[in-house]
Chain A
Amino acid sequence: MIKKDFSILIGGRAGEGSRKAGLIIAKLFAELGYKIFIYDDYQSLIRGGHSFSHLRASDKKVLSHRKKLDFLLGLNEEVIKKHQKKLDKKGIIIHDSMAKKAVEEVKGKPMMENTAIIAIFAKNIGIEWKILEKVLKQEFKKFQKLNLKVAQKAFDKAEILFKIKRLNKKVFPLITGNEALALGAVKAGLKLYLAYPMTPATGILHYLAKNKDKFKVVVSQLENEVGIVNAAVGAAYAGTRTMVGTSGGGFALMTEGFSLAAQSENPLVIVESQRMSPGSGVPTYQAQGDLSFVLSAGHGDIVSFVIAPGDAEESCFWGGKILNLAWKYQTPSILLIDKEISESTFSFDKDILKKINCERPLLWDKKGRYLRYQDTKNGISPMAFPGDKNVISKSNSYEHDEFGLTIEDEENTEKMQNKRLRKFKEMEKEVDRLESVKVYGNKKSKKAIICWGSTKGPAKEAAERLGFKMVQPIILQPFPEKKVKQALKGVKKIALVETNALGQMEKLLNSYGIRIDKKVLKYDARPFLPEEIEKKLSKF
């Protein structure tokens, strides 16, 4: 059988270009029709240390890397030492010494070792020179000639170890989860993105800032997260579709404005990309530890949308959908992702964008006097914005009457709470209409894995290999109780898989009477691998 699933690790010191090399190798595979996943592991430093890209190329859609390595590429010997034990019996090592020679022979720059190592690898797996040349030309605009010279030298010196199969499949572009969700939001009419830098959400800020003219989005970095969220609520009041992005620590600061958005009924979308916490935690590494926090965010009685997509395409779709939902229900909403989604690179099927539109929210019919908080049957009041003709729009953080004036009396306070409660009911109904729960694996199995967010990737693979069912709730608030229970029909044993130490999803499931038989948790700040889940559930 010809191998169609490759696991490759390339590493070096920060600044040596291992990430770029990993991406180029991925593009070589993509050119041949393979689907890609790249996990990027880097430390919180600028130069030195040890960082690596662990990539997987497969004929099937893959959403996580594998433990065993087919290839280990080191831009220094330390990389080899560190990862050698993961090498498969038939695995191949490419040392930097081979690359170094090629660079020296053509008088290339020391930085170009990564180019040489890519060329050696390409030759080893039987990739043709013209494919390598094409990709390198796309990737190296600076010193292109010299890079190609280095590559040619290294390529000529290396040997062909086997001939990789070219798949007759579509070539998909490679993008990160952060980029995918930004594309979805733009498709749904995003007009303003506000952020304060925080890993792993910063990629959204960089991507939108770089493409602001193309996407027609205004991007602004403000003084702190408290400022970001309050400016966002103000912008929404003035009629602009706005999104903000941060991680757990920044989100903690945003909860004040989150509550303001709930009370004043202004649409707000916060992307919360989790990383290992509490406190500053392990800032450039993975965790799903903010679930309990986001579900209860904001002081007061609040039901917000909390949506946790599991890969780049889902992030794209829900990145757009959540903007539409926030505006439809005039509510704060959270897109809950994590480092593994934000910064990993995926093969991306652009067709998902066709499913996203800019949906028109409920607008004022321009009849009579405008009431910002009109007490409607379903609790949703038509919107109008300052600057609209004949509009006086009074947005209020205090409890208010229908016009928006501050009130304190019991009758009106209860009336307005009831209005918002009816809106929360409508949000619950909306969740039932959406594809809020996904089911994978053996749908007839009596054993099921429940997971959420990025754990979808490795858990799905493990479930398929073990013959289990896998249930992935995507909307976590309002909780799709009916759909989850439907998905669990006939299931006798449930295992919960998530990357946090407390098993936070269990509490949520328990509150809907769903009992967990086994928790498979990982909290070493690294993502789950399919093999790890499979092993832990082999006797389940």
Chain B
Amino acid sequence: MSDKNIKLETSAQNTWCPGCGNFAILAALKGVVAEMIKKGTPKEEIVLVSGIGCSSKIIDYINLNSFSSLHGRPVISAQGIKMANPKLKVIVFIGDGGCYNEGIAHLIHAAKRNTDLTVLVHNNRNFALTTSQFTATSPKGFKGKSTPQGSIEESFNPLSLMFSLRASFIARGYSMKINHLQDLIKKGAKHKGFSFIEILQPCITFFDTTDFYNQRVYEMKKGDLKSDQEIIKKIKEWDYEDNNSKIPLGIFYQRKRPVYEEELLKK
């Protein structure tokens, strides 16, 4: 099957803001699934799972199996799908609000279990579709409609949380670095186990962090991180606040661990 024969488009009209980082994520994703299909993964065995919010609209724009869950629930819905049929290749799309606010328990337990999922967190660091309120990764002082004087909560570092759980694949990408991102998604999808890929994504309408990120992001080199200490240091290099530290991109951690559904279904 050649690339041209894989029709991934649907008839759905795209409703993202013009210039939204989601377009880049969609393009990167299409590149990854087209290659997966080309290399022999049957199209019908790929399942995309999403929740609610701008990020979650992505499943309407790709002609593949999909399950639209509820706000905060795609990670656990995806685990149900994997328990039912571990052969399926499941990719989850979730925003920072759904992942780190509403559904954080599911993220923690999925990482702990090492369910074989690829989770893409579209982190624009605010609830955008509800016209902008702060989320768990909005910087302190974030001025949204629920915090007109600035959020009084400090943000948290999801990568630290994932590393404390030994999530078996931890990476960070940036929506403006599409080739790098595509490579991360490809590696995450290939990884057997729980792949956590956070995607920094400017919200061009409500929280445009494009310049902020462009000045700070850099790609880590392969093999840079050898010890736990080095991994933690890199993860903590940027603490999700508005400071001047650099922001590393790439794979922070990867290791093999028994996969939950394989253990569960073992005879």
Q: Which residue of A lies closest to B108 (CB)?
A: A223
In the complex, identify which listed stretch (A18-26, A179-187, A227-235, A289-297) lies at the interface while the others stay far away: A227-235
Q: Is the CB of B109 within 8 A of A390?
A: no
Q: Is the CB of A239 within 8 A of B85?
A: yes
In the complex, identify which listed stretch (B62-70, B144-152, B154-162, B186-194) lies at the interface while the others stay far away: B62-70
Q: Is the CB of B84 within 8 A of A397?
A: no
Q: Tell whether A220 is near chain B: CB-to-CB under 8 Å.
A: yes
Q: Which residue of B lies closest to A238 (CB)?
A: B84
Q: Tell whether B73 is near chain A: CB-to-CB under 8 Å.
A: yes
A231 to B49 CA separation, bound complex (whole angstroms): 12
Q: Tell whether A389 is near chain B: CB-to-CB under 8 Å.
A: yes
The answer to whether A386 and B69 touch (CB under 8 A), given A223-B105, A233-B77, A235-B80, is no
* A517 vs chain B, min Cβ distance (A): 45
A405 to B59 CA separation, bound complex (whole angstroms): 9
Interface string of B206-237 (1 = CB under 8 A from A): 00000000000000000000000000000000
Which of B11, B79, B264 has the most A CB atoms < 10 Å from its CB?
A: B79
Q: Tell whether B81 is near chain A: CB-to-CB under 8 Å.
A: yes
Q: Tell whether B30 is near chain A: CB-to-CB under 8 Å.
A: no
Q: Tell whether A479 is near chain B: CB-to-CB under 8 Å.
A: no
Q: Is the CB of A386 within 8 A of B264?
A: no
Q: Is the CB of A406 within 8 A of B12?
A: yes
CB within 8 A of B65: which of A227, A260, A264, A391? A391
CB within 8 A of B76: which of A213, A227, A396? A227
Q: Tell whether B96 is near chain A: CB-to-CB under 8 Å.
A: no
Known: A242-B84, A387-B45, A388-B44. 7 other contacts (CB 8 A): A192-B83, A226-B105, A230-B76, A231-B79, A235-B81, A387-B88, A406-B68
Q: Tell whether B60 is near chain A: CB-to-CB under 8 Å.
A: yes
The answer to whether A394 and B65 touch (CB under 8 A), given A256-B70, A386-B44, is yes
Q: Is the CB of A224 within 8 A of B80?
A: no
Residues of A within 8 A of B45 (CB): 386-387
The answer to whether A223 and B106 touch (CB under 8 A), given A233-B77, A390-B44, is yes
Residues of B within 8 A of A235 (CB): 80-81, 83-84
Q: Tell whether A222 is near chain B: CB-to-CB under 8 Å.
A: yes
Closest 9 CB pairs of A and B: A234-B80, A231-B80, A238-B84, A240-B84, A234-B77, A235-B80, A386-B65, A235-B84, A223-B109
Q: Is the CB of A394 within 8 A of B77?
A: no
Q: Is the CB of A234 within 8 A of B69?
A: yes
Q: Which residue of B lies closest to A227 (CB)?
A: B76
Q: Tell whether B99 is near chain A: CB-to-CB under 8 Å.
A: no
Q: Is the CB of B106 within 8 A of A227?
A: yes
Q: Which residue of B lies closest to A216 (CB)?
A: B267
Interface string of B32-67 (1 = CB under 8 A from A): 000000000011110101001000010110011111
* A57 vs chain B, min Cβ distance (A): 41
Residues of B within 8 A of A218 (CB): 83, 264-265
Q: Tell whether B78 is near chain A: CB-to-CB under 8 Å.
A: yes
A selection of 22 A-B contacts at a CB cut-off of 8 Å is: A218-B265, A220-B83, A222-B79, A223-B106, A226-B76, A227-B76, A230-B69, A230-B76, A230-B106, A234-B69, A234-B76, A234-B79, A234-B80, A235-B81, A260-B73, A386-B65, A387-B87, A388-B44, A389-B42, A392-B43, A404-B66, A406-B60
The interface on chain B, measured as residues whose beta carbon lies within 8 A of the other chain's beta carbons, has a size of 40
Q: Tell whether A398 is near chain B: CB-to-CB under 8 Å.
A: yes
Residues of A within 8 A of B63 (CB): 392
Interface string of B151-176 (1 = CB under 8 A from A): 00000000000000000000000000
The answer to whether A405 and B105 touch (CB under 8 A), given A227-B76, A232-B80, A233-B80, is no
A490 to B64 CA separation, bound complex (whole angstroms): 59
Interface string of A227-262 (1 = CB under 8 A from B): 100111111111110100000000000001100100
Q: Tell whether A330 is near chain B: CB-to-CB under 8 Å.
A: no
Residues of A within 8 A of B108 (CB): 223
* B70 vs chain A, min Cβ distance (A): 5
Residues of A within 8 A of B59 (CB): 394
The answer to whether A234 and B67 touch (CB under 8 A), given A386-B85, A405-B12, is yes
* B95 vs chain A, min Cβ distance (A): 15
Q: Is the CB of A392 within 8 A of B105?
A: no
Q: Which residue of A lies closest to B77 (CB)?
A: A234
User: A-contacting residues of B (Cβ < 8 Å)?
Assistant: 10-12, 42-45, 47, 49, 52, 57, 59-60, 63-70, 73, 76-81, 83-85, 87-88, 105-106, 108-109, 264-265, 267
Q: Is the CB of A234 within 8 A of B70?
A: no
* A272 vs chain B, min Cβ distance (A): 19
A237 to B65 CA separation, bound complex (whole angstroms): 10
User: B-contacting residues of A (Cβ < 8 Å)?
Assistant: 191-192, 194, 213, 218, 220, 222-224, 226-227, 230-240, 242, 256-257, 260, 264, 385-398, 403-406
Q: Is the CB of B88 within 8 A of A238?
A: yes
The answer to whether A396 and B84 touch (CB under 8 A), given A223-B106, A226-B73, A227-B106, is no
A448 to B109 CA separation, bound complex (whole angstroms): 52
Q: Is the CB of B44 within 8 A of A387?
A: yes
Residues of A within 8 A of B85 (CB): 238-240, 385-387
A239 to B44 CA separation, bound complex (whole angstroms): 14
Residues of B within 8 A of A396 (CB): 66, 68
Q: Is the CB of A257 within 8 A of B84?
A: no
Residues of B within 8 A of A213 (CB): 267
Q: Is the CB of B81 within 8 A of A386?
A: yes
The answer to whether A392 and B81 touch (CB under 8 A), given A222-B76, A386-B45, A397-B70, is no
Q: Is the CB of A234 within 8 A of B12?
A: no
* B264 vs chain A, min Cβ distance (A): 6
Q: Is the CB of A192 within 8 A of B84?
A: yes
Q: Is the CB of B68 within 8 A of A239?
A: no
A406 to B54 CA separation, bound complex (whole angstroms): 13
* B86 vs chain A, min Cβ distance (A): 10
The answer to whether A391 and B109 touch (CB under 8 A), given A230-B76, A235-B81, A386-B81, is no
Q: Is the CB of B69 within 8 A of A238?
A: no
Q: Which residue of B lies closest to A408 (CB)?
A: B15
CB within 8 A of A230: which of B60, B64, B77? B77
* B83 vs chain A, min Cβ distance (A): 6
* B161 vs chain A, min Cβ distance (A): 15
Residues of B within 8 A of A386 (CB): 44-45, 47, 65, 81, 85, 88
Residues of A within 8 A of B65 (CB): 386, 391-394
CB within 8 A of B68: which of A191, A264, A389? A264
Residues of A within 8 A of B52 (CB): 397-398
Residues of B within 8 A of A234 (CB): 49, 67, 69, 76-81, 84
CB within 8 A of B44: which of A232, A392, A398? A392
Q: Is the CB of A224 within 8 A of B105?
A: yes
A226 to B10 CA separation, bound complex (whole angstroms): 31
Q: Is the CB of A398 within 8 A of B68?
A: yes
Q: Is the CB of B44 within 8 A of A391?
A: yes
Q: Is the CB of A230 within 8 A of B73?
A: yes
Q: Is the CB of A220 within 8 A of B44?
A: no
* B31 vs chain A, min Cβ distance (A): 19
Residues of A within 8 A of B42 (CB): 389
A389 to B66 CA separation, bound complex (whole angstroms): 15
Which of B52, B76, B106, B265 has the most A CB atoms < 10 Å from its CB?
A: B76
* A340 vs chain B, min Cβ distance (A): 31
A392 to B85 CA separation, bound complex (whole angstroms): 16
A232 to B78 CA separation, bound complex (whole angstroms): 10
